[in-house]
């Protein structure tokens, strides 16, 4: 019988620690050495796209409110999250997004990114056809995208490719089996995968502390044998640094990284939600003090890279480019219901004909009754 050599008989089995990354505090001051990638030009580009994301977001919500768009999930307050992805990903990486990554699409999905996003959220599957061909479409079913991402990462590894996969997921998504299964396989197979969690503190009305009893979501990595880290998700520099470090780990064949980005969802969950029913105004007011756009603007002002004239002209140019893409979207004829099948398969499986027939029958019934 083995006896522990401590009085209580208890010895530590393993020790773990988790790091937290922050470069810019709430006031936009450096709290760590400015990393090399964060040049003046890089900071200005990040700010430009974060402002564009916010202007686009506001317009998309207005379109929904006036009956010109379907349900829309605002990214208000999470602009640094999406924009950091867009800035940090390389062209040949595989991006597997969830549904709140507008900032990433603006940078990654070509000049018609906003028009395509609006088409998608307007119910036209053609809007899913954008950006680098290896990227996956927006995923609304919670956490299913992470199984696809793990599969894609496994395929790349088997092929001996140097490419990596980045998948995004919400805090709520990390409570699902799909998440644990994918992370588990990522650990066992040392997959070239970066899992970026947008911990915006709510899964619709369920606050973070009612979703998971652990002190952080990053520590879920430990159980899977994957590297885990938490970052300030309102700090575009910190998220980018974490993604860059995760890329190095992949290249050094150290496998996957789970990054938990601490954000806050300043808007409703979607346009079908009313967040004032489950959280206080005071809480939201506090969260506005940490928001990412103002934080980066404060830094730019401090660095004398920005002034009120530049702000005015940026706001005007963002509004103009959003407006022109909105016109492109509004002028497209509405897609037929049958078109939802158009972008599903490279080769049409015969078994799907039954569903096509069911839809045709349904449409005929609607037409007869109207």
Ligand X SMILES: Cc1ncc(C[n+]2csc(CCOP(=O)(O)OP(=O)(O)O)c2C)c(N)n1
Q: What angle do CA 24, 104, 325 make, to 5 degrees?
A: 125
Any contact of residue 260 with ligand X (CB under 6 A)? no
CB of 245 to ligand X, least distance (A): 24
Residues 167, 104: Cα–Cα separation, whole Å: 12
Give catalytic status of residue 343 as yes or no.
Answer: no
Does position 82 interact with ligand X (CB under 6 A)? The reply is no
Give a three-class secondary structure readout of 23-82.
CECCCCCECCCCCCCCCHHHHHHHHHHHHHHHHHHHHHHHHHHCCCCCCCCCCCCCHHHH
The whole-angstrom separation of Cα 179 and Cα 145 is 9
Establish whether 3 is a catalytic residue.
Answer: no
Catalytic residue among 102, 269, 295, 329: 269
What x/- string results for residues 147 through 176 when contact with ligand X is judged by CB under 6 A? -----------------------xxxx---
Please report whether residue 272 would count as binding ligand X according to CB under 6 A: no
**Beta carbon of residue 112, minimum distance to ligand X (angstroms, whole number):** 24
Between 31 and 140, name the residue whose CB sits nearer to ligand X: 140
Distance set, CA 116 to CA 98, 106, 109, 137, 322 (Å): 15, 10, 9, 11, 12
Residue from 69, 142, 224, 326 touching ligand X (CB under 6 A): that is 142
- Work out the burial of residue 144: count CB atoms within 10 Å of its CB; fewer than 13 is exposed, 13-18 middle, 19 or more buried: middle
Among 202, 264, 306, 329, binds ligand X (CB under 6 A): 202
Can residue 54 be called a binding residue for ligand X (CB under 6 A)?
no
In the chain, at which residue ranges do the beta strands (DSSP E only) sit?
A: 19-21, 94-96, 165-170, 193-199, 202-203, 206-207, 227-232, 257-262
269 binds ligand X, rule: CB under 6 A:
yes
Out of 65, 90, 251, 278, the active site residue is 278
212 interacts with ligand X by CB under 6 A? no
In the complex, minimum distance from the CB of residue 220 to ligand X, in angstroms, rounded to a whole number: 13
CA dihedral 273, 262, 89, 73 (to 10 degrees): 0
Structure tokens at 55: 């202007």
Closest CB 294 distance from ligand X, rounded Å: 21
Q: Catalytic: which of 265, 277, 295, 343?
A: 265
- Tell me whether residue 269 is one of the annotated catalytic residues: yes
Residues 310 to 369 in contact with ligand X, rule: CB under 6 A: none
Strand partners, 258: 195, 228
Determine, following the binding rule CB under 6 A, whether residue 227 of this chain makes contact with ligand X.
no
| Two tokens, residue 345 | 């398969």
203 binds ligand X (CB under 6 A): yes
Nearer to ligand X, 141 or 337 (CB): 141
Contact (Cβ atoms closer than 8 angstroms) between residue 100 and residue 170: yes
- How far, in Å, are 107, 222, 268, 285, 315 from residue 296 at the CA level? 18, 32, 23, 19, 15
Closest CB 143 distance from ligand X, rounded Å: 7
Classify the C-alpha dihedral 43-96-197-139 as positive or negative. positive
Counting contacts by CB under 6 A, is residue 204 touching ligand X?
yes
* Residue 205 Cβ vs ligand X, minimum distance, rounded to whole Å: 9
Contacting residue, 109, 116, 145, 200, with ligand X by CB under 6 A? 200
Report in angstroms how near the CB of residue 340 gets to ligand X at its nearest. Answer: 17
Catalytic residue IDs: 265, 269, 278
Q: Which residues bind ligand X (CB under 6 A)?
A: 100, 140-142, 170-173, 198, 200, 202-204, 265, 269
């Amino acid at each position: 019988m083995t006896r522990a050599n401590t009085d209580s008989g208890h010895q530590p089995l393993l020790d773990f620690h988790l790091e937290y990354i922050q470069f810019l505090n709430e006031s936009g001051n450096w709290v760590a050495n400015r990393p090399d990638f964060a040049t003046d030009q890089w900071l200005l580009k990040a700010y430009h796209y974060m402002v564009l994301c916010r202007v686009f977001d506001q317009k998309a919500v207005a379109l929904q409110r006036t009956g010109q768009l379907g349900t829309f999930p605002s990214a208000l307050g999470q602009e640094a999250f999406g924009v950091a992805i867009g800035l940090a990903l390389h062209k040949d990486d595989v991006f597997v997004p969830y549904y709140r990554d507008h900032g990433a699409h603006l940078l990654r999905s070509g000049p018609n990114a906003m028009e395509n996003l609006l088409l998608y959220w307007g119910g036209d599957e053609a809007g899913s056809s954008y950006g680098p061909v290896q990227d996956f479409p927006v995923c609304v079913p919670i956490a299913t995208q992470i199984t696809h991402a793990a599969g894609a990462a496994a395929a790349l590894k088997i092929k001996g490719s140097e490419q990596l996969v980045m998948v995004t997921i919400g805090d709520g998504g990390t409570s699902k089996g799909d998440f644990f299964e994918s992370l588990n396989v990522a650990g066992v197979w040392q997959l070239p995968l970066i899992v970026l969690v947008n911990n915006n503190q709510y899964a619709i009305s369920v606050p973070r502390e009612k979703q998971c009893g652990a002190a952080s979501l990053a520590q879920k990595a430990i159980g899977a044998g994957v590297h885990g880290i938490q970052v300030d998700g309102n700090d575009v520099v910190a998220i980018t640094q974490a993604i860059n470090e995760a890329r190095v780990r992949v290249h050094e064949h150290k496998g996957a990284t789970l990054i938990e980005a601490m954000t806050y969802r300043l808007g409703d969950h979607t346009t079908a939600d009313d967040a004032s029913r489950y959280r206080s105004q005071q809480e939201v007011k506090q969260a506005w003090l940490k928001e990412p756009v103002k934080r980066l603007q404060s830094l730019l002002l401090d660095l004398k890279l920005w002034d009120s004239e530049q702000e005015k002209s940026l706001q005007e140019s963002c509004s103009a480019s959003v407006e022109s893409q909105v016109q492109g979207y509004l002028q497209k004829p509405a897609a037929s219901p049958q078109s939802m099948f158009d972008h599903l398969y490279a080769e049409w499986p015969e078994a799907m004909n039954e569903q096509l027939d069911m839809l045709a029958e349904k449409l005929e019934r609607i037409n007869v009754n109207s």
